[in-house]
Amino acid sequence: MRESFGHAIDGLGHLIRTQPNFRIHLALATLVALLATLLRFSAQEWALLVLTIALVLAVEGLNTGIEIAVTLASPERRPEAKAAKDIAAGMVLLAALAALIVGALLFIPHLQAIF
């Protein structure tokens, strides 16, 4: 079990070190969490926010894993490899758009109350 956690930590480290998009998502998640702290989100709001952030980061990580695996399996250019990579990237876009909607639904009422 300890070894499994080590591999998982190694994977996260690889994402942070090598994937600019993952770092961007992580930086935005940090800023969003800081704003949620300042706005004193409720436990329910935090739960939804954490799940949304985790979804985006997880899908970004899966996208990277799929891209690496497809490149290893098919180093030559093939339409099927491109489709697999494009679909994985599309799922990141879908998760990010959903996160924007969730963020708007969570943050706008708090911001309107201030202004």
Which are the catalytic amino acids?
Answer: 60
Q: Return the H-helix or E-strand segment holding 41.
A: none
Tokens 């201030």, located at residue: 114
Residue 66 near residue 84, CB atoms below 8 Å: yes
Instruction: Say how many C-beta atoms besides its own lie within 10 A of residue 106's C-beta.
Output: 21
CA pair distance 107, 37, nearest whole angstrom: 11
